[in-house]
Structure 1
Amino acid sequence: MIRKAAKEMIEPARSVMVHERLISFTSGMLTKAGKTTQAIFYQWGLLVAVVGFLLGRAMILSELTPFVLPFLAAVYMLKREKAGIAALALMAGALTSYHGSIAFVIVAIFLYVLMQKVVGRYVDKTTKALPYTVFAASMTARLGLVFILEGTITNYALMMATVEAGLSFILTMIFLQSVPLVTSRKVKQPLRNEEIVCLIILLASVMTGTVGWVIYDVTVEHVLARYLVLIFAFVGGAAIGSTVGVVTGLILSLASVASLYQMSLLAFSGLLGGLLKDGKKIGVGIGLLVGTLLIGLYGEGGTNLGVTLLESLAAIAIFMLTPRDLIGKLARYIPGTTEYSKEQQQYLRKIRDVTAGRVEQFSTLFQTLSQSFQTSPDTDIPEDAEREVDYFLSNVTEKTCQTCFKKEKCWVQNFSSTYESMQKLMKETEERGEVTSQLLLSEWKKQCIKPEKVIQAIEHEHGHFQANQKLKRQVLESRKLVADQLLGVSRVMGDFAKEIQKEKQAHHHQEEQMLEALRGVGLEVGHIDIYNLEKGNIEIEMSISFDQGHGQAEKIIAPMLSDLLKETIVVKAEQASYYPNGYSHISFSSAKKFVIETGIANVAKGGAYVSGDSYSTIELGAGKYAIAISDGMGNGERAHLESNETLQLLQKVLQSGIEETVAIKSVNSVLSLRTTDEIFSTLDLAMIDLQDATARFLKIGSIPSFIKRGDKVIKIEASNLPMGIIQEFDVDVVSEQLKPGDLLIMMSDGIFEAPKHVENKEMWVRRMINELDTTDPQQVADVMLEKVIRSGRGMIEDDMTIIVAEVKRNTPKWAAIPLYKSPKLLRKRA
């Protein structure tokens, strides 16, 4: 029983393994067969031989063979190793054809090769001279044969030879562009319209080699021509389909005058098939059948309509059996197709990834440089300290003990006690600047016969030691500063690389829906471009007719978009009469959850015109609002320049995307290294996130700020030195969650220090804020500045600046306008 159960469990697994092996074997065989087929057609030259054979048979106007030399010349210039195969195939085709031009083909090929050798020796740019070489070889061969066979050259023979040579001249330039398209395994670039036409001419010329092939009354060239039209109409649409029909029909009609009506049939069928391409292969086939019925009745009068329909059905059958992969490969090279767009997007994606990769490499480089500049504070500190003490004492003993007659007793016999005593003297000097301990002095005098000299040497050496230590600290601080700056740049570049790699999707369907909805209510909208549909980060641009400044975009379009997208949309930017037709360019974006309303009041010392305080309020691109006050040292123009330059530097660095602490350190580094003058500036910075109302405060030498929340006053303070004093300092960041209705009050030291008679200035400011009767930011700033000036009896003894910011929920100015039958827009959610 156990064996039977085990066998029942093993058999299904064994069958699955056999099935998988069979699939793997089959796919491997198909792949191998595909590679073998490609090798036969492209590497061995079978495709060149087939094309050459059919072109050798081709003939137009009943006696001209202008395809032979152009094809041979193109293969000779582009695939010289296949020129022999092409020549043999052309002669074989001419030998089996009905026009009997084998002699002309052999003579023309011989003359062309001879002339090409001569031209290649004396002409550098043989490709440009190629059409002329073909023209001369064709003309010479045709007239030479006529003269040999008939003994004279008539005007008719001269005219026909000139026409043949002229066609060969033109076909040479065409084949130079089209031959690589059929002889190369991979076409690297998309086809231009000219290249598509050249390819069609080549294929139609090849089809003329099948003239005379009939299977059960079905003409082979008609089937192939209609199949070609079906393929290109399905791939490229009506324009490409009708073009292919016209070109193919024209060449076939030149080969056989009886096929003149084929041009109308193919062109009309290509147009109908392209228009019905949305119906897939069946729709294109129906287009060919309709065109065959209409033009067939007109061209043949209904006598041979059955044969014509049979030819179209045969072409449709071959078209239906054509693999979709083959059609997809062709569609990638035809402009305007979906496959072509995907190929272009893939190419752009590769370029984007390469660019992002290079930016990431630079980011990694800056990060590595930052790490190399970083110094670990815990590395070898004890050993370094002992070594520095040894160096210190060795310098002292070199100046004192080296010439003493008791040095052997002190440093050989009593090394430990001498070293310990001098170390105590060194420590005493470091702590107090000199040796003041009487106990230590008495002990040292018992050990040393020159105690004063040694102590003086220690105190003197201690000055150099301190200078060296300060220099080392500055080097370490500079290295850490550079490391932080490099790390900040690395982070910015890393974020930029991620931003590049974000997938930018097309929104054609949503743009059409939005355009139809807005035009449906009577708005004159030119075009709409949707860049982002993520919730909370929408970006839309459009063109609308100029409304004479009536605010149509803000009052009507933005509320309609708010209803469409189910979130508040506002006008981001508006450019009136931006386009040549007078239309305006409007940018829309998602509204922020919070807005900041500010009020500013400032005055210079003594009522002067130039204040040493500078301030700035700016909304950064990352959805943050920055408020900054900088107070330059002193008053007047020089202090104003210092504070203003500090804010300008900070603003540029923040707008680049660098994190605020690194930005402040960078600005401080610039200010501290730029000048040796003792001109410093304070900085009071608040960064408010407009999405969640969180605030980060960075106070560099500035006084406290206050938040008024109802009857409560919250103090924000931090202890940092003013900017420009030292190259390196730790920025103390204070975070606070703001709420709607909060008043953020930031001020310079002129406000805080103004009341000289008040001992507890913080309580005085708190009481002044609590006594405010208004919540309007500008009124608060004006009232507070007026109270401060009145408290000083009208005297303005310092520059005074106060900024009041009120946090508000973003209430849309206009309500959403519902649309009748509002379309559902599909979009990604953040």
Structure 2
Amino acid sequence: MEKAERTLMEPVGNVNLEDTKIGISKGIHRLQMKLEVMFFQKGIILILIGFLLGRALILSHLTPFSLPFFAAVYLLRKDKAPLALLGVLAGSLTLSIGNIVLTFMLSTLFLIAFRTTKKFIKNEIKSLPFYVLGTSFIVKCAFLYIQQGQTITVYDGVMTGVEASLTFILTLIFMQSIPLLSINKRKKSLKTEEVISLIIMLASVMTGTIGWSLYNLSVEHILSRYLVLLFAFVAGATVGSTVGVVTGLIFSLANVSSFYQMSLLAFSGLLGGLLKEGKRTGTAIGLIIATLLIGMYGESDSSLLKTVYESFAAVFLLYLTPQNLALKLAKYIPGTPEYAQEQQQYMRKIRDVTANRVEQFSSVFQALSKSFTQYDEIDDPEYEERELDFFLSNVTEKTCQTCFKKDHCWSRNFEETYQLMKEVMYEVDSGNEALSPKMTRELEKHCVKPKKVHDAIQREFMYFHANQQLKKQVQESRKLVADQLQGVSEVMGDFAREIQRERENHYKQEELILEALEDFGIEIDQVEIYSLEQGNVDIDMTLPSCNGMGECEKLIAPMLSDITGESIIVQREECAKLRSDSCQVTFRSAKAFVVETGAAHAAKGGGLVSGDCYSMIELGPGKYAVAISDGMGNGERAHIESNETLRLLQKILQSGIEEKVAIKSINSILSLRTTDEIFSTLDLAMIDLQDASVKFLKIGSTPSFVKRGDKILKIEASNLPMGILQEFDVDVVSDQLKAGDLLIMMSDGVFEGPRHIGNHDAWMKRKIREMETTDPQEIADLIMEEVIRTRSGNIEDDMTIVVAKIDHNTPKWASIPVGKNKIIS
């Protein structure tokens, strides 16, 4: 019993331990998000950076950092400019009273000059560095002129020019770096210039710590080595050595005694990057080795032991750095495996969507190719016999039709006459100019006009051979077109498997959604927006395991509905199998309207094969098509023609081709595909599920009806059936449907079916108006039953009726207001 109890209790303990780990992980994640919001969104980071830049020096007395930083923040994040100004003023105060006065004068004059001439500026970004250059030079000269008793030396003028030039360059650098410090402006990747600009700004910030010490260890040395270690660990030797060179250069300009630091930092970045495969320990070993080598053979003013302690302090900071921070940083730097993986995931869905669209085009061309090769007259077993009958009919029309023995030959002795004419035809076709004596005697014995018959057969053979040659050419042309279409289909199919395409960037909108959901208390790992088109919103999210609580459908989708301004639903959801895994969810726009359909059909005489065909086609997001095609006549051939018409229509429309172009393409195919006079009618209704607008395209079809309450609207157009003319115009009738409307479409067998009815329009409108039910299937069945009853139960033509009901799409969950601006205007 005790053993069983222990067995039952062990899984519970494991589950509790796992829950505790997940809870700790979520707590750390929440803390990180709150720190990000506090530092980046609230602007605390700008105060800290401004403070350090305000006290940073170059060549021991130049302060070119304050004004470029303030100007860049003012241009890019104007609402946070007071915080940046507060930081640089506080930093300047730590140097001297004169410095804070100079910084305040620089900032004030810049604001006055920039705001006064702002309306004359065409490009603020390009003109900003020149404003900073001019302001820095004028204010510094005026300040020195007053400070030194109304005199300025050549040296002072040159140094002022150097400082102004540095402000110009630093403004360009800070303009690229400031956006990287805002969570609302985060990018998926950084350019090389942006990485260098960020490093220069970070190194410049660190120069503000010159003179600080902790337990007799230099703070600037610790932070600079930590910066090099971090980039070497994340991005490798190339970026690590670059960071070392840039950081060492900035420090050497700030303090000439720190010139040896450039060698140490560059060498540390190189060794640390080369040993990054050993993770943090390998990178740390690279720094320690570089510290020992440079410390023993370099020209350092400090002792080797102190330098080693500073390096160990930097290593300690590296081990304190969260793994998530290192991974996030790696995703932004080109060349890292994390960056490559992020880009692959970034493009995967759009690549698949594009490939799917190309595959649809490929299927269209394949369907066209099959359509040209589906019915081959020459391969028909009855083709030769039918051609022989046509040939003999033409001969007898010119000879026997006016002969007095016509009745004797063709009515009383049909088989004998027919066989004799065939033998004469075959002998003439053999190439001999004259008939054989035997055949001549038989023809003269049977026919009173042998010479005329012989001459008529010879003349007819000339036309027959020419006609056969023409048919052969047409057949070859059809085969050529079919082969070409099949080739295009295969090429596009191959292209679909190889295609790659970048997705559109929606960084700002992704940040808005992420911020709104996290402010509401929902944890989101990643947001990917693939489309924000109205009615076609497509958003992917990655979030921690929901444990099957359904928060995606009940919370996130309603919140997205409020943010985007339209109803959003969960289209696909892949829940995590383990609690430590993540859920993958796809959100799409919900349709504003839905269509419910019903259909009824019957073949002529109660047969199994009808010449009518109908189809309800879902055309991607927001489109729905209802179509009826009536092939000429009845039976299998009519069924093939009407079914082929709808099959081609569905393929072409699903590929995204416009309705008019699709119908004209089908008409051309039907006109060229066969020499027989086989035509098809088409009744097509294209319904937009976002606004309930509808387009009717009627090609030789009967009228359609819309029932709206007690009103019955008639929709008709005048076009010939398809396949008669190769070139014709398609009339489009547009209308606006409303919720609750019933659309009734029918073939001529239903519309013209009622017996002893003079006005079919009035009869059909009356029957539709009298319908008390609103169920589409019941309406279709009742109308079909009424028509058949008027014929006493006889079905004298193929009959098809399709009914569609349009109604509002009511979301399962109401939207949840989140208090954010809509991201879709």
TM-score between both structures, scaled by the size of structure 1: 0.45
